[in-house]
Amino acid sequence: MKRLAVLIVIFGIAFNAVYAQNINKTQYKEISLADYKAAGDVKERDDTERFKLNVKFLLQAANSVAVQDTEDKLQRFESEKTLGFERGQELVLYVHSTHLPDGGWETEIIDLAEKKE
C-alpha cells in the first residue's frame, strides 16, 4: 500500500512537471500590442524578450493564433497547444519573441494564455 502511494506521488510530480504551465510571470513586461509591434522593429538585436499582452482571441488554425487589441490591431502568435477560447474572449497572453537582426520578430510564441479576469 505504501509503495502504491509513493508511485502515485512520483507520477503526480512527473505529470505536473510535464503538463503544468508554470512560468514566472514577473519576467514578462506588460505592453500594448502597438508597442509590441514597434519593439520588434529594432535592428541589430537577436535576443529574446518576454511580454504580457491584453488582447481579444479571434481564432486558431493549427499552431497559429490570431488576436486583436482594443484598437482592432491584429497579430498572430504561435502556440504549441490548442487554446480553447471563444472568438472575442479577452485574454492575457504571455509570449516570448526573438528579434531578427534586420528588424522584426523571428519567433513569436505563446507561453501561457489566460482568460482575463
Structural domain contains residue 11: no
Number of structural domains, the chain?
1
Structural domain contains residue 6: no
For residue 60, give its domain range. 24-115
Do the beta carbons of residue 68 and residue 98 sit within 8 Å? no
| Nearest in space to 81 (alpha carbons), one of 11, 19, 17, 6 | 19
Grid coordinates representing 51? 511580454
Structural domain contains residue 13: no
Please write the tens of the pLDDT for every residue from 48-88.
999 999 999 999 999 999 999 988 899 999 999 999 999 99
Please write the tens of the pLDDT for every residue from 43-56.
999 999 999 999 99
Structural domain contains residue 12: no
What's the average model confidence in pLDDT over 9-24? 54
Structural domain contains residue 99: yes
Q: What CATH number is attached to the domain comprising 83?
A: 2.40.50.140
Please write the tens of the pLDDT for every residue from 95-117.
999 999 999 999 999 999 999 88
Q: How confident is the model at residue 1 (pLDDT cuts 50, 70, 90)?
A: low
What's the pLDDT at 7? 44
Structural domain contains residue 80: yes
Structural domain contains residue 7: no
Residue by residue, DSSP assigns 49-116 as EEEEEEEEEEEEETTEEEEE-TT--EEEEE-SS---PPTT-EEEEEEEEEE-TTSSEEEEEEEEEEE-
What's the pLDDT at 70? 87
Grid coordinates representing 47? 535576443
Alpha-carbon span 70 to 32, nearest angstrom: 10
Structural domain contains residue 18: no
Q: How confident is the model at residue 8 (pLDDT cuts 50, 70, 90)?
A: low
